[in-house]
């Protein structure tokens, strides 16, 4: 019978040669970063540290088209400015006998549904077209009353504005009661409108509030809108509000607690938070020096200087065994569609080999007996 020790040595040699073919749960860091030194490498490897984290945070956003941008410094008008499409109700009082507007029995006349036309005017008998758009109701009333003096010297004017379609907001979707809502004043905030529309639909997860104004779209997560006073902007006629689920996500693979697709539950997620959301690191398999974030940039984002990536595909490498790496990971933001990978320690493969050797020795001992 063959010498057991010799058999073990032969098997050990075979196992060591074929170590890389042994099944593993995730990649070893060197396998991913092997070609980083080659000029023809399809990707660049960028170590993440406190010395470059601020520069990396200025690199372009990638992934989902949801790139948040909310109104900045727009408090809105503080008075009820008349706009095109509004309806004006005039009541003109005149106590004079033989008045051009009133009769002896009724000393006032009411003019309803005077719509502000595209030119910003309404028609008033005897004084013709009067520009009211852009004025407050009080200023428009005073202007009409002054012009009426030429025809009815003692006339007094009352004016009331009813918002028209151009002074309404569409709560399009994502609400308990979607619909078109007129603005009762020029100071209706977005939170007030959300309340009027019955609130955000309860079945939406991680809701994102989107406002379409003119040719621009503004977005903010609902949790940030609710907690930030300055984000409660004043709406304008014609605004459209849509609430949808935040569809951004990142992917977790490798030696983490879970391998899964993870939705963004907040506006920004750091590398440390991403690992926590994945259930942490596998204490047996994970290589703490090999946390990798794989990201692909648009062609237009590639830069030849430090203001952006040198290649479209970038592997960001983080070493969690140092304070420098830990602090940097706490500030490095994950982008939508990023792949967060915890590589596997080379020791894992070696332990697998030793386990197989142990079983082989036990088997040879049985044969020897």
- Residue 59 contacts residue 308 (beta carbons within 8 Å): yes
3-state class percentages of the chain: helix first, strand second, coil last, to nearest 5: 25, 30, 45
What is the residue-wise DSSP string for 306-342? Answer: TTS-SSSEEEEEE-TTSHHHHHHHTTPEEPTT-EEEE
Model confidence pLDDT, tens digit, residues 106-116: 888 899 989 99
Q: What is the pTM of this model?
A: 0.60
Residue 185: the pLDDT is 75
> Chain-centre distance of CA 83, in angstroms?
32
Residue 120 tokens read as 């910003």
- Residue 114 contacts residue 92 (beta carbons within 8 Å): no
Residue 175: the pLDDT is 96
Residue 78: the pLDDT is 56
Q: What is the CA radius of gyration of the chain?
A: 35
Rounded to 5°, the CA angle 130-134-135 comes to 70
Residue 196's φ and ψ, nearest 5 degrees, are -60, -35
HEC letters along 65-91:
CCCCECCCCCCCCCCCCCCCCCEEEEE
Residue tagged 């410094």 (tokens): 73
Where helices occur in 162-264 by DSSP H, the ranges are 190-196, 222-227
Under-50 pLDDT residues of the chain = 1-2, 4-5, 7-25, 348-350, 352-354, 356-357, 360-361, 363-364, 367
What 3-state class would DSSP assign to 156? strand
Residue 240 tokens read as 């459209």
Residue 6 CB-density burial (10 A; 0-12 exposed, 13-18 middle, 19+ buried) = exposed
Residues 6+ apart with CB under 8 A from 158: 90, 91, 92, 93, 141
C-alpha to C-alpha distance for 269 and 274, rounded to whole angstroms: 6
Residue tagged 């304008």 (tokens): 236
Element (H, E) at 130: strand 128-131
Residue 38: the pLDDT is 55
C-alpha to C-alpha distance for 317 and 36, rounded to whole angstroms: 12
Residue tagged 């406002």 (tokens): 211
Residues 6+ apart with CB under 8 A from 198: 175, 176, 177
Model confidence pLDDT, tens digit, residues 301-319: 998 777 889 899 999 999 9
C-alpha to C-alpha distance for 149 and 257, rounded to whole angstroms: 82
Domains, the chain, with CATH or none: 29-65+249-344 (3.10.560.10), 87-162 (3.30.1950.10), 166-245 (3.10.560.10)
C-alpha to C-alpha distance for 80 and 132, rounded to whole angstroms: 12
C-alpha to C-alpha distance for 69 and 61, rounded to whole angstroms: 12
What is the residue-wise DSSP string for 37-51? Answer: TSTT-SEEEEE--TT
Residue 75: the pLDDT is 54
C-alpha to C-alpha distance for 333 and 215, rounded to whole angstroms: 29
* 324 φψ region: left (φ > 0), alpha (ψ -120 to 50), beta (else): alpha
Residues 6+ apart with CB under 8 A from 114: 87, 88, 89, 90, 122, 123, 124
């Amino acid at each position: 019978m063959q010498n057991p020790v010799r058999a073990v040595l032969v098997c050990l040699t075979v196992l060591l040669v074929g170590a890389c073919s042994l099944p593993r749960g995730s990649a070893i860091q060197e396998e991913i970063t092997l070609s980083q030194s080659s000029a023809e490498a399809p990707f660049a490897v960028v170590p993440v540290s406190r010395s470059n984290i601020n520069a990396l945070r200025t690199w372009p956003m990638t992934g989902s088209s949801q790139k948040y941008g909310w109104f900045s410094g727009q408090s809105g008008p503080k008075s009820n400015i008349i706009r095109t499409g509004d309806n004006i109700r005039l009541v003109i009082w005149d106590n004079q006998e033989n008045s051009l507007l009133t009769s002896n029995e009724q000393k006032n006349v009411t003019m309803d549904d005077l719509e502000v036309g595209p030119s910003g005017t309404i028609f008033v008998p005897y004084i013709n077209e009067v520009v009211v758009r852009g004025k407050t109701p009080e200023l428009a009333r005073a202007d009409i009353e002054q012009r009426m003096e030429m025809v009815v010297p003692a006339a007094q004017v009352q004016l009331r504005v009813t918002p028209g379609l151009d002074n309404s907001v569409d709560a399009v979707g994502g609400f308990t009661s979607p619909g078109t809502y007129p603005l009762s004043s020029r100071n209706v905030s977005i939170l007030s409108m959300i309340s009027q529309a019955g609130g955000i639909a309860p079945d939406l997860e991680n809701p994102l509030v989107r406002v379409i104004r003119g040719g621009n779209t503004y977005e903010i997560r609902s949790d940030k809108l609710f907690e930030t006073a300055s984000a409660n902007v004043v709406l304008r006629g014609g605004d459209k509000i849509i609430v949808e689920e935040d569809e951004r996500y990142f992917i977790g693979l490798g030696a983490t607690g879970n391998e899964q697709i993870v939705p963004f539950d907040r506006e920004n997620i750091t590398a440390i938070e991403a690992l926590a959301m994945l259930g942490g690191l596998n204490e047996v398999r994970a290589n703490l020096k090999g946390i990798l974030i794989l990201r692909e940039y648009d062609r237009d984002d590639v830069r030849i200087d430090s203001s952006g990536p040198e290649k479209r595909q970038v592997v960001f490498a983080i070493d969690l065994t140092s304070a420098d790496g830990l602090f940097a990971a706490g500030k490095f933001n994950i982008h939508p569609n990023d792949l967060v990978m915890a590589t596997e320690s080379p020791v894992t493969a070696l332990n697998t080999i030793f386990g197989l050797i142990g079983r082989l020795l036990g088997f040879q001992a049985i044969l020897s007996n």
